[in-house]
Amino acid sequence: MFCYLFEFRVRAGAEARFEAAYGADGPWVALFRRSPEYLGTELGRDTADARRYLTIDRWTSRAACLDFRERVRAEFDAIDRECELLTESERHLGDFDLRR
């Protein structure tokens, strides 16, 4: 299994909209669900800093993830531009192969 992690600093007052965008019923998950290789997204909110969030997107493999993103590049970029308005910063924490 492959996953990638992002850390976000959300603009004050945009927390609910951010959670809606990145949560289970948001546009990111709706887009990713179009791929049978997508395994799910976890959204976490820092317990000490209510404007700091973490996302973990899980896929069957890195290749499957990259292939899907390339196929939906225009839609991916459009959602990304829209969601940038909700955040002060976004940081890619890394890509990981998960071991069981």
Torsion of CA 44, 63, 38, 32, to 10 degrees: 80
CB atoms within 10 A of CB 3: 20
pLDDT in tens, the chain (100 residues): 999 999 999 999 999 999 999 999 999 999 999 999 999 999 999 999 999 999 999 999 999 999 999 999 999 999 999 999 999 999 999 999 988 7
pLDDT at site 43? 98
pLDDT at site 100? 76
Domains located in the chain, CATH noted = 2-97 (3.30.70.100)
pLDDT at site 63? 97
